[in-house]
Amino acid sequence: MPPDRNDLDALAAPGPFFALRGGPAPPDAVPLASLYAGGLDPLRARLETVAARLGTGESRVAASLAHQGLASRLWSVGLASAVLLDGVLALDPAALWWSPDGVTPEDLSLCGPHPPRLLPARDIAGTAEQIWTEVHQAHLVPLAAATRELAPVAPGLLRGNAASALAGAARQLLRWARADASPEVAASAGRLAEALLHRPGVREEWEWRHGAVRRRSCCLYYRVPGGGLCGDCVFDRRPAAPSGA
């Protein structure tokens, strides 16, 4: 069942991180499939841009924050499609184009020779499985591998980024649904988020602490000049900088 332009526009209702452009893609965009296949120059350029914007000379810090930003976009699109389009949007890496110079929501475009495709709606467990396949398996696994090709980022940190990005997308979607949508949409979003957060590969990366999801790793934002701790950080206090840092 192909969504039309109005369907894709509906994804932006909870906020720009949930939005997805229809084609054509911007001139600088590349299909994410090419990045996952080893065409790393666009990701390298993105990491350099993030490092310059943040004023950090640490490649792993820039890599971590760039990774988390894209992971957030991917989870957001997957979750929003499930609750707003009555089906999960198929996110074929060959049809999902990414602009390393773009800003939300101009960074992701769904285009290609075939119309966008919706996977038929299922029960909560089945829909969560579809989102997992379309987002985590198709994108986040190869994205983590590509990121580690360019910077010495620990695998556990990237898994924590993915879990944090999922929790953040779910919080925003729930906040919007409770305020501006229906109780049914809010309930569906909440059940999907719970199912995904308890998936093996995600559940190990967070704990329930002080009434909220807290990750078990750190994205390294505190190492950015002027940076601090994120709301879900494993640390309660900003770590001291290593000697000579």
Domain boundaries, the chain: 5-205
Say yes or no to pLDDT of 240 above 80: no
Say yes or no to pLDDT of 82 above 90: yes
* Terminal Cα-to-Cα distance of the chain (whole angstroms): 54
Say yes or no to pLDDT of 163 above 80: yes
pLDDT at residue 241, as a whole number? 60
Cβ partners under 8 Å of residue 65, min gap 6: 50, 54, 219, 220, 221, 224
Give pLDDT tens digits for 91-137: 999 999 999 998 888 899 998 777 788 998 889 999 999 999 999 99
Distance set, CA 67 to CA 127, 199, 206, 210, 243 (Å): 25, 20, 18, 27, 27
Give the Cα separation of 24 and 141 in Å (integer). Answer: 26
Comparison of pLDDT for 23 and 183, the residue scoring more? 183
Say yes or no to pLDDT of 244 above 70: no
What value does the mean pLDDT take over residues 222-238?
Answer: 92
Say yes or no to pLDDT of 31 above 60: yes
Give the Cα separation of 27 and 41 in Å (integer). Answer: 15
pLDDT band at 29 (very low <50, low <70, confident <90, very high): very high
Q: Using an 8 Å Cβ cutoff, are 91 and 138 in contact?
A: yes
Beta bridge pairs of residue 88: 119
Predicted TM-score (pTM) of the model is 0.93
